[in-house]
Structure 1
Amino acid sequence: MEPLEVHSDNGAIRSTIWNCDGIRLGHAVSRATGERPSRPPGPGPDVVRLHFGLRGNYSFTYRQLDRTFDLIGGHHNLMYSREFNIEVTPHSPELETFGVQFPRDKFIQFTTGASDALQRFAESVLEGKNILFSEHWGAIDPGMEQVIRQIIHCSYGGDLKRLFLLSKSIELLVLSADACSAPPEPVFLKTRSDKERIIAARDFVNERVDNPPNLSEIARTVGLNEYKLKRGFKETFRTTVFGYLSEQRLQLAFEHLRNSEKTAAEISAELGYASPQHFNNAFKKKFGRTPQSVRNNP
């Protein structure tokens, strides 16, 4: 599916939409010209929306819930209302979001016999209540980010693509519900500024996957001491800085093996591994198969 770019007085939105079995998936990157509020088109009527804010800071007012949320990039939640009217105010130049919209009946079908929290949410959906799955917006961890990137870069076609998108939609639903259902831990990051710096640290790591920065360089770049960086990163993304970097490098390697002609040795060198053998061992531990097997059987 080719992305569509729409321009307006408020900026531009580049979006891609996928459909499978009535489920609608969407990825959007918007560039704002200021902090003017806008009313983006909502999902179709009577759908459960799984929402991921990948990058950027914004606030939005959800009229059906009569609430306003002030959010920093790297969050997710489930929501339902028969109508969906929101007003979004960007607080950073670029926003990236991803969403999955489940028709109400299909969502009920998927959640029958699921966790207690999902079943309670499904019961409210059946009753037509306007509801947010969790008061605690979950943080997007590497597992969720990986699934979202797999969808965005999906190279399958036909029925195989339909099955892939269906399975990944359900996987995201499970991961999000599980994360939002977990009891909240004591909060270490107390201020919005510190949270923004942790998001900036994640973005900096993503920009340097092929030339990984060390902890002191990341801390210096985002203006945090190393202790706060480590604690805050673990609290926000449920993994260490090094663990996150390792996940990103291996996922990027997997995509290179499927979508390029580069050899495993070339990919290993580009991503900064000490040796091809070190890369091979880390790849096999993560995916349960060798890099060469991915190249031969993507």
Structure 2
Amino acid sequence: MTITISEQAYRELFQEIQESDPSLALLDQKSGNFVGHDIIWRYPSRFGQGFVREISLRDGLDLAIANYQLHDDIISESSDFEHPLEYTFNIADGYQNSANTIPYHLYGSGVAPGECWKQFAKQRSMWVSVHIEPEVFQSFVGNTTEQVPEALQHLIGNPNQKYYVRPGQATQAMQSALQRILHCPYQGFTQRMFLEGKVWELMALLLEQEVETQQSKQTPTCLKPDDIERIHQAKAILLQRLNNPPSLKQLAQQVGLNECTLKRGFRQVFGTTAFSYLHHYRLEQAKQFLASGEMTVAQVAQSIGFARNYFTKAFCQKFGCTPGAYRKRHR
């Protein structure tokens, strides 16, 4: 069964739990009592099981950690709303794909357009998300956007315009910081100090990638003919190893390029990152396999190197229907 609900009504269900029985909705992790800066919202039993933990590290800086599983598919609808800076790491997706890479999204401040998004039943959702108000971000450099480096000014652009968003893959340094957040060894005052440090460490790592991304758009890498040939070789290797692709470091070693040249060069030659290209190709191949009707959904997922649940989610996001529905439609 699929449940369709507005984002506001979805949030109100959590509020109803708090009002009917605060012990079910708002718990301090150590004492079981309500505290304003560290709240655990238990999932309504009609939807699933698990929690979303919200930690206010300071005014304008909030950390959320989620771990839950739904009983039914949920379609949530939202209207336009004002959006702060944000980054979100989808940890469960990293566990479910063959390369064990953790995808993330970096958002600038601005207007988030209303959308309709789907969460799937029986699929574990684990994510870490950080919200940063623009003035908190600006406090590191001053009170005016002119003092923010030019390559980052789009992150705190016009609040009346659509926000900026960029997907990416977590580096090893990012994954290490995430694990420290998830397994924080401290409590109370020292916990907040520790978590805030890790939150800004992650932001610094993301901004490093963001500056690199913006600069590569403005000043394309000067590629030698031999480099271009090696980049095409790297693409061929990825397509030959759909169900077990090498890491970017391994791929660079195989074609004889350094990792930075391969990363920037691949974007310049093909207009996207190596693993975004691979992700797109895998799903296009899956669509062809499903249309032929010769393979089951599980077999298709295995052939392209995706776990079944992750495949369903990725396919639905790209094509607007489940793999099973697509296969049935074309049989």
* TM-score (ref. length: structure 2): 0.46
**Greater share of helix residues, 1 or 2?**
2
* TM-score (ref. length: structure 1): 0.50
